[in-house]
């Protein structure tokens, strides 16, 4: 039938309707703290990296969360509330256990999943990109070779190069 009556099904034009993403972007310190707590909820229970936090670092989460919330508040919101150095504690852990690319990759996977679950927007994307840069910088400083199957940096990411003993070229 022609859809204008009679026994056939009516002709209907269906338009694709997009629903807005209910997740908001990271907007304030409370969001930074929520992100850090949710991430550590995953990381502490993770079979690959959880033991590093619980058994090796013996992380005091209630003391650590405000520090990390300040770090992310500074990075994402220009709050200037973080004044510490993030590398040294990781260097100490590396000396104890020998961190590997797989540890960093797992950290990034859990971080990205947590960000994506809770937030959407420019700052959420910035949180993921900055975590990637931090992981890569720590790997270089610790002498950890990146995983060979790691995907290349996201399109639009700035290329990085470093030079030093045993390292030449771009990454």
| In the predicted structure, residue 161 carries a pLDDT above the cut 60 | no
User: pLDDT tens digits for 26-50?
Assistant: 999 999 999 999 999 999 999 999 9
Domains of the chain: 29-142 (1.10.490.10)
Higher pLDDT among residues 63 and 164, named by residue: 63
Element (H, E) at 103: helix 101-118
Q: In Å, how far are 24, 121, 126, 136 from 20, measured between CA atoms? A: 10, 12, 20, 34
Whether 165 has a pLDDT exceeding 50, the answer reads no
Question: Residue 32 CA to chain centroid, in angstroms?
Answer: 12
Please write the tens of the pLDDT for every residue from 82-117.
888 889 988 999 999 899 999 999 999 999 999 999
Coil/strand/helix, residue 79: coil
User: What are the pLDDT digits (tens) for 47-88?
Assistant: 999 999 999 999 999 999 999 999 999 999 999 888 888 899
pLDDT band at residue 147 using 50, 70 and 90 as cut-offs: low
Report which DSSP code applies to 48: T
Q: What is the reported pLDDT for 86? A: 85
Burial of 72 (0-12, 13-18, 19+ CB in 10 A): buried
């Amino acid at each position: 039938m022609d859809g204008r009556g009679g026994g056939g099904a009516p002709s209907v034009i269906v338009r694709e309707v997009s629903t807005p993403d209910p997740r908001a972007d990271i907007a304030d310190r409370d969001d930074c703290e929520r992100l850090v707590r949710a991430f550590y909820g995953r990381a502490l229970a993770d079979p690959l990296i959880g033991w590093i936090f619980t058994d090796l670092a013996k992380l005091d989460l209630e003391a650590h969360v405000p520090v990390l919330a300040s770090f992310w508040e500074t990075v994402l919101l220009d709050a200037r509330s973080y004044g510490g150095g993030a590398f040294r504690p990781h260097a100490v852990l590396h000396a104890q256990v020998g961190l590997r690319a797989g540890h960093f990759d797992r950290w990034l996977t859990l971080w990205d999943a947590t960000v994506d679950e809770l937030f959407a927007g420019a700052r959420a994307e910035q949180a993921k990109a900055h975590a990637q840069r931090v992981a890569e910088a720590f790997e270089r400083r610790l002498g950890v070779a990146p995983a060979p199957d790691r995907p290349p940096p996201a399109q639009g990411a700035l290329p990085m190069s470093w030079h030093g003993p045993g390292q030449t070229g771009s990454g």
